[in-house]
């Protein structure tokens, strides 16, 4: 099984004719992702990605012609919120937004729309989703993954890759790896992803990577304590960050309460999660947790 996407997902690429969209579409096709169309306003009727993919003027047109149920967005931040809303209004079930720098005010509107339409949004400002050996959506390097039984959910793109590498180093593969994004307003939170992994019959353990700022990791840990039967290994980035300093992601700023790395690590441990002080310990901790 898988969560979010699988080999049967029919994918649209919004912004497919841009440099990023074109490059990563080629990578996704090579991995085996079923891209059924692209969307660039004004370029409908043309072909993209080495003349392999039909381009449409709108998501509505593309969905009607292809039956797509998933969309991935590679458009500039000033147009990205509108692109998400267009996909949601067209009835696309899952939307992955890679774009970074979308204004918070725009995302507040997006959040209302996707909640109303029951659209599952991953991102923005994220590396995407990969269901190993089935479907790659985004910028994650597929070759680092190995098919297995560990789910990965992370706020950080590069730490997602590091967690996968550490798991593979100890012989553990992945079911699905998801970078949810580090912005203040994102589409899907950690608790929602943990719930999907808990229901997935193939996932036997989960790696959860958070960072300073906000309450998402704390809320997910408390939910997991009451609802998860599978072991979780956690890591919190930003352990040496000065108080009040914004670190990379727009949501990673500490107010001095229980959103510091130290406080979050303590809460995770109190909720039964195996916490790593270093990403280098993720694989070993998970292997130990599975053997209990």
Q: What is the pLDDT of residues 156-182, one digit of tens each?
A: 888 999 999 999 999 999 999 999 998
- 171's tokens: 């012989």
283 and 171 in one domain?
A: yes
Longest distance between any two alpha carbons in the chain, whole Å: 57
Could you give the CA distance from residue 180 to residue 125 in angstroms, rounded to a whole number? 8
Higher local confidence (pLDDT), 157 or 217:
217
Contact 200, 170 (CB under 8 A): no
| pLDDT above 60: residue 40 | yes
**pLDDT tens digits for range 138-161:** 999 999 999 999 999 999 888 999
Q: Which one, of 69, 88, 84, lies nearest residue 12 by Cα?
A: 69
Q: Give the CATH number for residue 82.
A: 3.40.50.720
Domain that holds residue 238: 145-290
107 and 166 fall within a common domain: no
Domain-embedded: residue 218: yes
Q: How confident is the model at residue 237 (pLDDT cuts 50, 70, 90)?
A: confident
Q: Does residue 172 lie within any of the structural domains?
A: yes
Going by pLDDT thresholds of 50, 70 and 90, the confidence category of residue 251 is low
Please check the confidence at residue 239 and state whether its pLDDT lies above 80: no
Structure tokens at 176: 């699905």
Distance (Å, whole) CA 123 – CA 99: 8
**22-36, 240-254, 262-276: segment of lowest average pLDDT:** 240-254
Q: Please report whether residue 5 resides in a domain.
A: no
pLDDT 10s digits, 179-210: 999 888 999 999 999 999 999 999 999 999 99
Is residue 4, in this structure, part of any structural domain at all? no
Annotated catalytic sites, by residue?
249
Please tell me the number of Cα atoms within 13 Å of 103 on its side-chain side. 6
Q: How would DSSP label each residue in 166-197?
A: HHHHTT--EEEEEE---SSS-SS-HHHHHHHH
- Domain co-membership, 183 together with 232: yes
Handedness of CA 176, 24, 15, 97 (dihedral sign): positive
Cis ω for the linkage preceding 260 (within 30 of 0): no
- In angstroms, what CA-CA distances link 96 with 70, 74, 119, 137, 190? 8, 9, 10, 7, 15
> Do 156 and 103 share a domain, yes or no?
no
Q: Which residue has the tokens 């931040």?
A: 77
Treating both helix axes as pointing N-terminal to C-terminal, what angle do 59-66 and 77-89 enclose, rounded to 10 degrees?
Answer: 40
Considering its fold, how many domains does the chain have in total? 2
pLDDT at 229 over 90: yes
Specify the pLDDT at position 248.
53
Same domain, 100 and 153: no
pLDDT of 21 strictly over 70: yes
- Find the CATH number of the domain harbouring 188: 3.40.50.261
pLDDT at 24 over 90: yes
76 and 152 inside one domain: no
């Amino acid at each position: 099984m898988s969560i979010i996407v699988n080999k049967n997902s029919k994918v649209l690429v919004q912004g497919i004719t841009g440099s990023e969209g074109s490059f990563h579409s080629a990578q996704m096709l090579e991995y085996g992702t079923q891209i059924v169309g692209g969307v660039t306003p004004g370029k409908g009727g043309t072909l993209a990605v080495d003349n392999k993919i039909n381009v449409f003027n709108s998501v509505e047109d593309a969905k009607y012609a292809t039956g797509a149920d998933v969309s991935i967005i590679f458009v500039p931040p000033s147009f990205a919120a509108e692109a998400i809303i267009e996909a949601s209004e067209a009835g696309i079930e899952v939307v992955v937004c890679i774009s970074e720098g979308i204004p918070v005010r725009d995302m507040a509107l997006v959040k209302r729309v996707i909640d109303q339409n029951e659209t599952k949004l991953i991102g923005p400002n994220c590396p995407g989703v990969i269901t190993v050996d089935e479907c790659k959506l985004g910028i994650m390097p597929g070759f680092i993954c190995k098919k297995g039984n560990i789910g990965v959910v992370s706020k950080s793109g590069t730490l997602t890759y590091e967690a996968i590498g550490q798991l593979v180093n100890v012989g553990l593969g992945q079911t699905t790896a998801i970078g949810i994004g580090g912005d203040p307003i994102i589409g899907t939170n950690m608790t929602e992803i943990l719930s999907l992994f808990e229901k997935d019959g193939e996932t036997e353990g989960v790696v959860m990577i958070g960072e300073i700022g906000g309450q998402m990791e704390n809320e997910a840990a408390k939910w997991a304590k009451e609802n998860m039967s599978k072991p979780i290994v956690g890591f919190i980035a930003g352990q040496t960050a000065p108080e009040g300093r914004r670190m990379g992601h727009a949501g990673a700023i500490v107010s001095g309460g229980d959103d510091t790395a130290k406080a979050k690590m303590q809460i995770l441990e109190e909720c039964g999660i195996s916490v790593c002080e270093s990403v280098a310990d993720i694989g070993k901790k998970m292997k130990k947790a599975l053997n209990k």
